[in-house]
């Protein structure tokens, strides 16, 4: 599994698993959105046949990083929301099949995955 800041890639027969590993419970902030964008860039550049997005341990994502986002100035919050919207739209329109494998907590926006969710037991 290739390691990158915020995510790891594992390949199997042209399918890439993106394991999102961006901080405590994968809470969504500017850093975690940038990691997911880079992971999708890597999958697309390598011509993956499909993508499986998953979290780590007991977490897919805790949703928005309220601790970090709470202190943002209005313009910075607007910029975060624009980045979030762009990432979600990119995932919805991704050039390859993209699914999520949710094996743990998925809160608010994280639970509204841009792909079909598969829950592990």
Residues 54-108 pLDDT 10s: 988 888 888 889 999 999 999 999 999 999 999 989 988 899 999 988 887 777 5
Q: ∠32-89-105 over CA atoms, to 5°? A: 45
Q: What is the pLDDT of residue 17?
A: 95
C-alpha distances in Å from residue 64, one per residue of 24, 26, 49, 120: 12, 9, 30, 23
48-54: average pLDDT: 94
Per cent of the chain over pLDDT 90 is: 56
63 or 41, greater pLDDT: 41
**Residues 39, 5: contact at Cβ < 8 Å?**
no
Is the model's pLDDT at 114 over the cut of 60? no
Against a cut of 0.95, is the pTM above it? no
Level-2 CATH architecture, domain 2-119 = Alpha-Beta Complex (3.90)
Q: What is the pLDDT of residue 108?
A: 56
Query: What is the domain partition of the chain in residue ranges?
Result: 2-119
Q: What is the pLDDT of residue 46?
A: 92
Report the run of H or E that residue 52 belongs to, with start and end: strand 50-54
């Amino acid at each position: 599994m290739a390691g990158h800041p915020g995510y790891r890639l594992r390949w199997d027969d042209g399918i890439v698993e993106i394991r999102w590993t961006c901080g405590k419970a994968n809470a969504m902030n500017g850093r975690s959105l940038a990691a997911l964008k880079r992971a999708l860039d890597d999958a697309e550049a390598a011509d993956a046949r499909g993508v499986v997005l998953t979290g780590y341990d007991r977490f897919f994502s805790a949703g928005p990083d309220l601790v970090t986002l709470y202190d943002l100035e209005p313009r910075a919050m607007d910029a975060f929301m624009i980045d979030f919207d762009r990432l979600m739209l990119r995932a919805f329109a991704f050039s390859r099949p993209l699914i999520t494998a949710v094996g743990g907590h998925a809160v608010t926006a994280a639970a509204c995955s841009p792909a079909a969710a598969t829950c592990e037991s």
